[in-house]
Amino acid sequence: MDFRSESEQLKDPKTAMKRSLVFPGAGQIYNDQNIKGYALIAGEILALWSFNENREKYSNYEESDKYSRNHYLRERNRFAWIAIGLYFYGILDAVVEAHLDDFDRVVKENDPMKEEDSDEQ
């Protein structure tokens, strides 16, 4: 018996992918994985904010800055890669989780131990 509401049952991988394409974490929220979704949203925002901060420091570099200009360039690039990685991870994770939404039911229906138990009784 499935105790999930109608909106929680059988998630569509295409819908999960479309939502993740719009913003990382939206597909996880669609799949009812709120903590993971909000964590991805926070991570993406933090990575983009850090990218922008380092981009500005690189563009407006002054000799009196604490770090070298090259440091800000490396940090800018690092946060750009983190943002890109989180974006693609969010898409892939949302699609896989939507595909596996019905996994527990399929496993229960195809459990070989279940058939042996009913034969013994």
Tens-place pLDDT, residues 47-102: 999 999 999 999 999 988 889 999 999 999 999 999 999 999 999 999 999 988 87
Asked if pLDDT for residue 8 goes beyond 60, the answer is no
Cα gap 86→25, rounded to integer Å: 9
What does pTM read for this prediction?
0.77
Q: What is the mean pLDDT of residues 107-115?
A: 75
Asked if pLDDT for residue 6 goes beyond 70, the answer is no
Cα gap 12→74, rounded to integer Å: 39
| Owner of token pair 């360039």 | 73
> Which residue did the predictor score with more confidence, 115 or 80?
80
Inter-helix orientation angle 13-22/69-99, to 10°:
160
Q: What amino acid is encoded at 90 in this protein?
A: G
Tokens found for residue 85: 């990685």
- Work out whether the CA dihedral 35, 75, 20, 100 comes out positive or negative: negative
Q: What is the mean pLDDT of residues 29-44?
A: 96
